Amino acid sequence: MKKYITLFTFVCVLFLGMNSATAQETPEVKAKAKTLELVKMLELSEAQVKQVFAIYLKYENDRLEQGASMADVRKQINQVLLPAQQREFKASYHQELVREKKMKKGKTVVDEQ
């Protein structure tokens, strides 16, 4: 019986540790993750990576304090990109908007039931 209690306690502590670790995402971590997404999608140069990271970092810091706009971030990032990258970036954003609309429609249908 002691083994089961010890095992249960260990599992509980493990899950609590995982929850607290994910809850502590800093603006730097979030900015890095968003930058890596763009690096994979758009094949950014080193200079572009630094600029995009700085834009996302500023957004993440301002978002917490002032409620910064993601539209402004997209405009700033678009200025850093090459024309081919701009088209790809715009297309991915459009796909994201369509996906969000579908999710909202699905959510309202589920909520009504």
**Would residue 83 be called left, alpha or beta, if left means φ above 0 and alpha means ψ between -120 and 50 degrees?**
alpha
Structure tokens, 37 = 């997404």
Residue 97 phi, psi dihedral angles, 5° rounding? -65, -45
Q: Under a CB-based contact definition with an 8 Å cutoff, are residues 59 and 73 in contact?
A: yes
Q: Would you state the pLDDT for residue 1?
A: 73
Cα angle 80, 81, 83 (rounded to 5 degrees) comes to 135
Q: 61: which residues sit within 8 A by CB, 6+ positions away?
A: 27
Q: 75: which residues sit within 8 A by CB, 6+ positions away?
A: none
Residue 20: how many CB atoms within 10 A of its CB? 9
pTM: 0.66
Instruction: Tell me the pLDDT tens digit for each residue of 1-38.
Output: 766 566 556 555 666 666 555 557 898 999 999 999 99
Instruction: Tell me the pLDDT tens digit for each residue of 47-57.
Output: 999 999 999 99
Give domain limits for the chain: 27-112
Longest dimension (CA), the chain: 66
